[in-house]
Amino acid sequence: MNEDPLFTEEQLEEARVLFARQATFMMGAVAIDGLPPGDLPEVAFAGRSNVGKSSLINGLVGHKGLARASNEPGRTRELNFFVLDDKLRLVDLPGYGWAKASKITVKKFQNLGRDFLRGRANLKRAYLLIDARHGLKEVDKEPMDAFDKAAVSYQIILTKADKMKPHEVEAARIKTEAAIAKRPAAFPRVLATSSEKGDGLAELRAEIMTTCEVRP
């Protein structure tokens, strides 16, 4: 789905091997003072409730039960850290756009995410997941503003692309790239993925591998 000439077959294979290595849940943190040391490169995943964060993380590492999705939207209310081959960490950020949470609770975990972004020198990139069928919404502007303010490089990942026709996915990708063109911290390339079909995951693995400068 994403035929990216920037990645060679060798890079895609290296990324496949890297993400086939052991991935484990490390810890969940509910406060900044409970974070693990910044001794490994990290990438973080953010997105609205039910956008498919858990499915994407599981798809990247080929482990269906690593990141657990809740039946109730908005239950990811801590920073969840996963370690891949003792070389890099994947961080699942609290979801946003919750329907079943008090304003106080929402603010608490929004602040946790912002504090993490500001103070994490080893955070190499954040990936903002957007449902390809719906595109960017007003609620997505807040995390993008937070990324821009914290000067954290972030990349838009369209999810659930298998639910659309290929030309619709491409149109959504182009529209999204145009929408973020003037945002200072936004990485210009948008990837379309399907956790169910595996589309785009090879390219995303390569993006993460090269961004974090790790090899298998």
What residue ranges do the domains of the chain occupy?
9-212
What pLDDT does residue 73 have?
45
What pLDDT does residue 102 have?
47
pTM of the model: 0.90
Distance CA 80, CA 57 (A): 11
Structure tokens at 28: 């969940």
Beta bridge partners of 28: 80
pLDDT average per 10 residues of sequence, the chain (216 residues): 70 97 92 90 91 94 78 61 96 71 55 81 96 94 90 96 96 97 96 95 97 94
By three-state DSSP, how is residue 173 classified?
A: helix
Distance CA 84, CA 22 (A): 6
Q: Tell me which fold the domain 9-212 belongs to.
A: Rossmann fold (3.40.50)
Is residue 80 within 8 Å of 116, Cβ to Cβ? no
Distance CA 193, CA 199 (A): 5
By three-state DSSP, how is residue 60 classified?
A: helix
